[in-house]
A and B are shown apart, each in its own frame.
Chain A
Amino acid sequence: MTDRQFIVQALESALSDVLERDIAGLADDVRLFDDLHLDSTTMLELLMALEDTIDLVVDPETLDIEDFASVGTFTDFVLATRGGIAATA
């Protein structure tokens, strides 16, 4: 499994918890707000869930709305964020 597949799987699992319905088979172009109907509250819950499951540590000062546009941009964001942690670890 690639890092990317691992992140998407963690994302699907976290989304299933947050949205209380099964989320699977997410494609990169699925939009988080418009297609999955996340809102600002559930988006924050998603970050909280990922912090618990994959040790994602967010920096609230660098979060950007562009990161939350789609499954693809969000996966890029998680990879970059965790990569940064790994590099400094």
Chain B
Amino acid sequence: MTAPGTPPAPALLHEILDRAAELRPDRPALSQGELTLNYREFATSARRLAGRLRAAGVGRGDRVVAAAPSGPALAVLVYAASRLGAAYTLLHEQVHGAPLLHVLDDCEPRLLITEDAADRAAAGERAIAVLPLSELVEAAFPPPGSGPADPADPADLADPSGEPPASGVLAVDPVSLIYTSGTTALPKAVVSTHQQVLFAARAIQSVLGYRADDVVYCPLPLSFDYGLYQVHLSVLSGAHLWLGLPNEAGPLLLRRLAATGATVLPGVPSATEGLAWLLRRSANKLPALRLLTNTGAALSTETIAALRASLPNLRVQVMYGLTECKRATVMPPDGDLARPGSCGLPLPGTEVLAVDEDGAAVPPGEIGQLVVRGPHVMAGYWRRPELDAERFRRRDGLFPELWTGDYGWLDEDGFVYFSGRRDDLYKENGFRLSATEVEAAAHRVPGVVSAAVLPPEGRRPSVLAVVGRIEAAEALELMREQIEVYKIPRRCVVLDALPLSANGKVDRRRLAVLVAEVAA
């Protein structure tokens, strides 16, 4: 490592932080509220915390679970666990009680970090070591005077904790377990190795191009992998990452973006729609903001157009991905203008196919299951061999590929169009339709802010629910310009808002109740 010349590219996750601390020690790295760490302090804190974790018994091959509010200490924890060869799991602060016990019994961590006394007791019963969040924060950021020496001292950066040098950790060792829901009754963990995470992060960085002078404002918690990867992308590029507090989103988002001088906003549709509303009422047009990314669900054409009208310097990159490979496709900047409805191209060095039931690629324009191949396809699900066999399949018994369970098609140039999940498909009048596809068409109708489709049930035909300044009949009429007539639901209702579930997705059961009320 001390040999002269260009050092080898980092092979372990924490090495990208060490590299950033060598390259730009005094540049701001991570902020939240009043706290800002430069890259030297970030790396020093990770070494220090690794020492604290080691003292709690954590070592190579162990797992560490944190259920806590998002913040810099959790970003430090990620790199501290990596140093020791342990895998981290970051859970939303609201995960406690039974859902947390499921995680503890499923992945059997060495250490649980939480403020919740009942959860700490439950961990104790399972012989899992516990650390209150406050102690984690203190170990990562000791109060001035109590820490070992001046963080500016290079010797301190080298070894502030007496931690033994990370030895024996391999690029093929696990570094994270990320819990996801969907299709299974209980959440399951996607396991990633250092190699997989670094490939995904570098490939994403190669197409998004974060810069050393960027200020990234992340309104999402680190328990979402979209939020967590903002840390890796910022460390790789040397950008300054702001971790938003929960109450800084919503009405205050515009102010926070202005106050932090944000140049990049990783968005989800609800935050982006809110920002478009705020911008229409603001004299400050956020001249610094240069890049907005979107994932999670499709953004309405109207919202993107409103943002572009307010922010002439803004470039938009829409994306598609799932935890099982982190990110599948990214659209080149503003590529949505030429190819509306597409979620972009596969990451460099990877491919996305649309396949039939036998795994054979279907021709361009034809819908098939989306299959992802490349070094970013993660290791698999933790202790779920039956699910691995369904999703993490091996072509010819050897070559890993991810069967996403999502359906879509490719155009002649390889751009990917997402058309829906299998469970979004429904039949009406003999046609196989995708609720997601119909919703995407409704999103393109001028005046429509958001839309959801209720598939037919019993004698009730499918219903389109829209939110926006538009009449129901007009919405159905304008749909004809966007999609085949047979795909358009016969009935449309205009609502003030779509009912959302706790994780921000449309709650179709409550929507069905609302629609029935409108009909009554």
Which residues of A pack against B, CB within 8 Å? 17-18, 20, 33, 39-45, 47-49, 57-61, 63, 65, 68
Contact = CB atoms under 8 A, between A and B. Distances in A.
Contact of B250 (A41, A49, A57, A59): A41
A89 B251 CA distance: 25
B496 A60 contact: no
B163 interface: no
Interface stretch (B136-144, B274-282, B401-409): B274-282
A63 B504 CA distance: 24
Contacts of B249: 40-41
Given A40-B252, A41-B270, A60 B247 contact: no
Contacts of B258: 61
A41 B255 contact: no
Residue picked from A42, A44, A48, A58, most chain B C-beta under 10 Å: A44
Residue picked from B250, B252, B253, B258, most chain A C-beta under 10 Å: B250
A58 to B, nearest CB: 6
Interface string B245-269: 0111111111100100000000000
A43 B277 CA distance: 13
B176 to A, nearest CB: 27
11 contacts: A18-B497, A20-B510, A40-B248, A40-B251, A41-B249, A44-B274, A58-B281, A60-B278, A60-B281, A63-B255, A65-B248
Contact of A48 (B248, B277, B504): B277
B283 interface: yes
Given A41-B270, A44-B251, A57 B499 contact: no
Given A60-B284, A61-B254, A65-B252, 6 more contacts: A17-B497, A40-B246, A40-B252, A44-B277, A47-B251, A60-B251
Residue picked from A18, A20, A59, A60, most chain B C-beta under 10 Å: A60
A69 to B, nearest CB: 10
Contact of B251 (A17, A18, A43): A43
B497 A60 contact: no
Contacts of A68: 247, 251
A49 to B, nearest CB: 8
B255 A61 contact: yes
A39 B249 CA distance: 9
Interface of A is mostly: helix
Interface string B489-520: 00000001101000010000010000000000
A58 B251 contact: yes
B281 A41 contact: no
Contacts of B281: 57-60
Contacts of B253: 40
Contact of B284 (A41, A49, A61): A61
Contacts of A61: 254-255, 258, 282-284
Contacts of A59: 281-282
A20 B279 CA distance: 27
A40 B247 contact: yes
Contacts of B279: 60
Interface of B is mostly: helix
Contacts of B510: 20
Contacts of B283: 61
A49 B496 CA distance: 9
B363 to A, nearest CB: 41
Contacts of A58: 251, 281
Given A44-B277, A57-B281, A68-B247, A17 B254 contact: no
Interface string B444-487: 00000000000000000000000000000000000000000000
Interface in B289-314: none
Contacts of B248: 40, 65
Contacts of A20: 499, 510
A41 B450 CA distance: 15
Contacts of B250: 39-44
- Closest 7 A/B residue pairs (Cβ): A40-B250, A40-B249, A60-B278, A44-B250, A60-B254, A60-B282, A43-B250
Contacts of A49: 496
A59 B283 CA distance: 9
B171 to A, nearest CB: 39
A33 B254 contact: no
A18 B278 CA distance: 18
Contacts of B282: 59-61
Contacts of B499: 20
A41 B253 CA distance: 11
A61 B252 CA distance: 8
A22 to B, nearest CB: 15
B449 to A, nearest CB: 10
B255 A60 contact: yes
Nearest to B273: A44
Residue picked from A40, A41, A47, A49, most chain B C-beta under 10 Å: A40
B221 to A, nearest CB: 12
